[in-house]
Amino acid sequence: MIAASGVGGAEQVFSTLLQGLDPGRFEVTVACHGQGVMFDTYRRDATRVFSLDLVDLRRLSTVTRLAGMMRESRCDIVHTHLWTADVLGGLAARLAGVRRVVSSVAGAYFLPIDVTGGKRVRRQAFSCVFRSIYWGCDRVIAPSQYVADDLSARSGIRVPRGRISVIQNGVDVHEVERQERHVACGSSERWGSGSPVVAVVANFFPIKGHRYLIRAIPQVVRVYPRVRFVLAGDGESRASAELLAKQLGVADRVTFTGEIRDSLELMKRSDLVVVPSISEGLPITLIEAMALGRAVVATDVGGIPEVVEDGVTAKIVPPRNPAALAGAMLELLKAPQRSRRLGEAGQAVARERFSANRMVGMTEELYLELHGG
């Protein structure tokens, strides 16, 4: 189950898992929210796919409907992704009598960051709700040690460490290599003209830090007047990001693409990929950019330090710091040879440690362990 079918990191990890599971050992039925651009991709790799509302927690009928699907499919294991699916799926699985429930947690959900008053209280309440669901799971998958520590140590309801498995996100190296061959065949200005090109691939939510990246752009434009920033994704804070770019006078240097399916192509055609988040579990965009051999600037948050080493495989800066972001981008843009070395070192790490085969294999082992071998 996944509470999404659009374009995003969690959806990409979910799709990669579906594609990699051995069909000779696992029969997969998918329940997802809506029929977004990833819906057909889910259908390609699953026996059956059901679309229903997995976001509105007030729909008790969703729980009974899901329970019926689980009974019909004779599920041995229910594996949920994204927190509303974790809540609804966990309840439905218990109602249906499913023996084993697994939840994948993408990040440190409901951190009280940049909120006060009633909003802060609301986040803390939601934190207790989803942690009570995870406390009742047979296993919780964390994509990084940072997320595992958050689940087991944050104040409130804590998930027992023995129920948490760390399985890092992985990328399909074969798809990355195919994309490299495709991009080598030509160039494109579909995202607007300009050089150098800086890419950010992340849906627009405050926690992704777009506002800090946009505040860094004027400093870069002063040195590279024709620089092009391509911000791929959609979400609740996109409008405010577009307004900020206008207010700072850099709107003509920024392209907001909305949802795109070819983010690998965008990153491969870029000179630099930036991950400006203020919190992350283990961003799949970071691993994809590294696998493509791109130089990366990322913030020192969440699981990111578990993937990259500052000055060796990426340039790491403090979060919420536009000046540091601008300085790191300029440093790498001015030194293409150093950028190339960072990209090559990052590529070797990504392909060795963060392959889809490794992620899928560890997940299959977990399923079989829970199923009793």
Closest C-alpha among 288, 1, 328, 305 to residue 133: 1
- How many other CB atoms are there within 10 angstroms of residue 329's CB atom? 28
Is the pLDDT reported for residue 36 higher than 80? yes
Contact 29, 75 (CB under 8 A): yes
> Which of 3.40.50.2000, 3.30.70.270, 2.120.10.80, 2.40.340.10 is the CATH number of 173-353?
3.40.50.2000
| Cα–Cα distance list, 373 to 89, 231, 318 (Å) | 24, 45, 45
pLDDT at 309: 96
Q: In the predicted model, what is the mean pLDDT of residues 159-171?
A: 95
Amino acid present at 44: R
Chain-wide mean pLDDT for the chain?
A: 92
Is the pLDDT reported for residue 20 higher than 90? yes
Is the pLDDT reported for residue 327 higher than 60? yes
- Which residue ranges does the chain devote to CATH 3.40.50.2000? 9-170+356-371, 173-353
d(CA 209, CA 229) in angstroms, rounded, equals 15
pLDDT at 124: 79
For 231-284, write each residue's pLDDT tens digit: 999 999 999 999 999 999 999 999 999 988 889 999 999 999 999 999 999 999
Instruction: pLDDT band for 184, please (50, 70, 90 cuts).
Output: low
Instruction: pLDDT band for 178, please (50, 70, 90 cuts).
Output: confident
* Token pair of 41 as six digits: 């991709």
pLDDT at 189: 65
d(CA 324, CA 309) in angstroms, rounded, equals 17
For 214-235, write each residue's pLDDT tens digit: 999 999 999 999 999 999 999 9
| Cα–Cα distance list, 348 to 166, 268, 312, 351 (Å) | 22, 16, 11, 5
Contact 355, 171 (CB under 8 A): yes
Is the pLDDT reported for residue 167 higher than 60? yes
Amino acid present at 157: I
* Whole-model pTM over 0.85: yes
Is the pLDDT reported for residue 63 higher than 80? yes
For 104-143, write each residue's pLDDT tens digit: 999 988 887 777 788 888 887 877 777 788 888 999 999 9
- How many other CB atoms are there within 10 angstroms of residue 114's CB atom? 11
What does DSSP say about strands 164-166 and 139-142: parallel, antiparallel, or unpaired?
parallel
Is the pLDDT reported for residue 183 higher than 70? no
What is the percentage of the chain residues whose pLDDT exceeds 90? 79
- Which letter, b or e, does each residue of 238-269 get, where b requires 16 or more Cβ atoms within 10 Å of its Cβ? beebbebbeebebbebbbbbebbebbbbbbbb
Instruction: pLDDT band for 291, please (50, 70, 90 cuts).
Output: very high
Query: Residue 76: what are its φ and ψ, rounded to 5°?
Result: -95, -35
Instruction: pLDDT band for 157, please (50, 70, 90 cuts).
Output: confident
Is the pLDDT reported for residue 186 higher than 70? no
N residues, the chain:
373
DSSP strands (E only) in the chain: 29-33, 48-52, 77-81, 100-104, 139-142, 164-166, 197-201, 228-232, 254-258, 272-275, 296-299, 315-317
d(CA 302, CA 110) in angstroms, rounded, equals 14
Amino acid present at 191: W
pLDDT at 174: 77
Q: Which class in CATH covers the domain with range 9-170+356-371?
A: alpha beta
Closest C-alpha among 275, 288, 283 to residue 199: 275
Sign of torsion over alpha carbons 78, 71, 89, 52: positive
Q: In the predicted model, what is the mean pLDDT of residues 139-148?
A: 97
* Token pair of 339 as six digits: 């950028």
Is the pLDDT reported for residue 373 higher than 70? no
Q: In the predicted model, what is the mean pLDDT of residues 36-46?
A: 94
Residue where the block lists tokens 């803390």: 124
